[in-house]
Amino acid sequence: MAKDAFPPSGDQPEAIEQLVSGVRKGARQTLLGVTGSGKTYTIANVIARTNKNTLVISHNKTLAAQLYSEFKEFFPENNVGYFVSFYDYYQPESYIPQTDTYIEKDTEVNEKIEKMRLEATAMLMSGEPTIIVSTVSCIYSLGSPNEWEESAISITKGMVIDRKALIHNFIEARYERNDLSLVPGNFRVKGDTIDIIPGYSDDIVRVSIFGEEIECISIHDHVTMKKMREVNAVKIFPAKHYITDDDSRNKALESIRHELANWLPSLPSELERQRLAQRTKYDLEMIEELGYCSGIENYSRHLDRRAPGQPPFCLLDFFGDNYLLVIDESHVTLPQLHGMYKGDHTRKKMLIDYGFRLPSAYDNRPLKFEEFEKYLRNVVFVSATPGSYELKSSWQVAEQLVRPTGLVDPKVEIRPTKNQMEDLIMEIKLRAKNNQRTLVTTLTKRMAEDLAE
């Protein structure tokens, strides 16, 4: 049972039973609940009863953060992750042919959120019950879950491994060596001791080597360096989501070169052909030397060995088949999911038509809604005002109209605009006599200023 000070009440018990029954049947369902009826608590109880990994999709970061906080309280002993866009600022790469203006991609990454994204996928790979709260970021290209898991580094006490080989494994997993400053995604080497902070953690994993044998694995506080515990084994996942092995990388490089050679003759001008060739060859050199380049996601189709037009891997692929999908405020979230692909495709078309990107950049994209629908197997749409899509596609609609508090919606009165200010002041004074407060909303900022005066 989800942890809470109060048991389910009002319409919650019946809604919980209905939804649990539907989840066990693998059906699409809608939870129609009025504001303040405790829909999140109902969903928490459904998750606890069905014991499935769960993805909750919200339509913006603020609501996602609120849901994340609530689920952390409901499930204090379980994995609860947060997966949203890690950009504090994002200016996508684009080209405006009318003014011949190329706008380079410019971003500001929030490192804390990047860590939480990695933590979310690490939770899903751990095999433990996990709840992830996300935004529409969950339908954007992320990299292959199989490649990510296969690139994880498993270290066990007594394991025989060459020190240089272990360091090489960390670098292949996109960890950076920094012997001065240790932050998530970095490691340092001091003699036969290697300290590493996984990209999704704050704790230091210390690996002590004697000869060619792992002598000790210990976990340390990253601030005090105090040893917290020793472990017999540890699995460290890559520091980035885009990860490839040498063989996949070499095949991808060959595939990119082949696409470039085939596409160049189709560009109308020498300037465009030269620009694309120069940009692509520079990226190829970077991938060959370092394993990655700026904008490597535009080559994700080649790196993932996908066919043209094939859907990209995304967070949904990290869940496997047996999971529960909850779409919060579905009347807003579903239209948002519907529109992501078209906006991305329009922007990419300009870049590809004018020689800034190869056509394979089209496939670094969010899912089309038709592709997303294939993941809507065991799903609960949650809304106070569900749309026609939810109602038509649902096996059942669970209603939650009676609040646990028993409170009903306030009576709405529509009064004439004549003498509205005097009427408002009279109502405010009545509230003030009872030591109550009044919230007044206006249509414009100017009206609010006039009212305040």
What are the structural domain ranges in the chain? 12-144+311-400, 153-236, 420-452
Token pair 């405790």 is at which residue?
A: 38
Distance CA 26, CA 380 (A): 10
Going from the C-alpha of 166 to that of each of 118, 171, 247, the distances in angstroms are 21, 9, 19
Q: Give the pLDDT score at 291.
A: 78
Band of pLDDT at residue 5, cut at 50, 70 and 90 = low
Q: Give the pLDDT score at 207.
A: 96
Q: Across residues 322-336, what is the average pLDDT?
A: 96
Band of pLDDT at residue 409, cut at 50, 70 and 90 = confident
Distance CA 156, CA 233 (A): 4
Give the closest residue to 269 by CA, choosing from 281, 277, 259: 277
Q: Give the pLDDT score at 408.
A: 76
Residue 1, pLDDT above cutoff 60: no
Q: Give the pLDDT score at 144.
A: 87
Q: Rounded to 5 degrees, what angle do the CA atoms 138, 358, 240 make?
A: 40
Band of pLDDT at residue 2, cut at 50, 70 and 90 = low
pLDDT digits (tens, 9 = 90+) for 13-58: 999 999 999 999 999 999 999 888 899 999 999 999 999 999 999 9
Q: Which CATH superfamily is domain 12-144+311-400 in?
A: P-loop containing nucleotide triphosphate hydrolases (3.40.50.300)
Handedness of CA 307, 311, 312, 316 (dihedral sign): negative
Residue 248, pLDDT above cutoff 90: no
Going from the C-alpha of 185 to that of each of 122, 156, 173, 230, 292, the distances in angstroms are 14, 20, 10, 21, 15
pLDDT digits (tens, 9 = 90+) for 225-236: 999 999 999 999
User: Quick one: 279 exposed, middle or buried, by C-beta within 10 A (0-12, 13-18, 19+)?
Assistant: middle
Mean pLDDT of the chain: 92
Three-state helix/strand/coil letters over the chain: CCCCCCCCCCCHHHHHHHHHHHHHHCCEEEEEECCCCCHHHHHHHHHHHHCCEEEEECCCHHHHHHHHHHHHHHCCCCEEEEECCCEEEEECCEEECCCCEEECCEEEECHHHHHHHHHHHHHHHCCCCEEEEECHHHHECCCCHHHHHHCCEEEECCCECCHHHHHHHHHHCCCEECCCCCCCCEEEEECCEEEECCCCCCCEEEEEEECCEEEEEEEECCCCCCEEEEECEEEECCCCCCCCCHHHHHHHHHHHHHHHHHHHHHCCCHHHHHHHHHHHHHHHHHHHHHCCCCCHHHHHHHHCCCCCCCCCCCHHHHHCCCEEEEEECHHHHHHHHHHHHHHHHHHHHHHHHCCCCCHHHHHCCECCHHHHHCCCCCEEEEECCCCHHHHHHCCEEEEECCCCCCCCCCCCCCCCCCCHHHHHHHHHHHHHHCCCCCCCCCCCHHHHHHHHC
b/e sequence 107-144, b meaning 16+ C-beta within 10 Å: eeeeeebbbbbbbbbbbbbeeebbbbbbbbbbbbbbbb
Residue 107, pLDDT above cutoff 70: yes
Q: CATH second-level architecture of 153-236?
A: 2-Layer Sandwich (3.30)
pLDDT digits (tens, 9 = 90+) for 125-178: 998 999 999 999 999 988 889 889 999 999 999 999 989 999 999 998 999 999
Residue 245, pLDDT above cutoff 80: no
Question: What are 351's two structure tokens?
Answer: 């870049």
β-strand pairing of 153-156 with 233-236: antiparallel
pLDDT > 90 in the chain, percent: 75
Q: Are 264 and 274 in contact (CB under 8 A)?
A: no
pLDDT digits (tens, 9 = 90+) for 352-368: 999 999 999 999 999 99
Band of pLDDT at residue 447, cut at 50, 70 and 90 = confident
Residue 106, pLDDT above cutoff 70: yes
Lowest mean pLDDT among 83-87, 126-130, 375-379, 410-414: 410-414
User: Quick one: 322 exposed, middle or buried, by C-beta within 10 A (0-12, 13-18, 19+)?
Assistant: exposed
Q: Which residues pair with 235 in a beta bridge?
A: 154
Lowest mean pLDDT among 1-5, 187-191, 275-279, 412-416: 1-5
Distance CA 292, CA 285 (A): 9
Q: Give the pLDDT score at 338.
A: 92
Q: Are 277 and 180 in contact (CB under 8 A)?
A: no
Q: Give the pLDDT score at 4.
A: 66
Lowest mean pLDDT among 61-65, 71-75, 421-425: 421-425
Q: Give the pLDDT score at 44.
A: 96
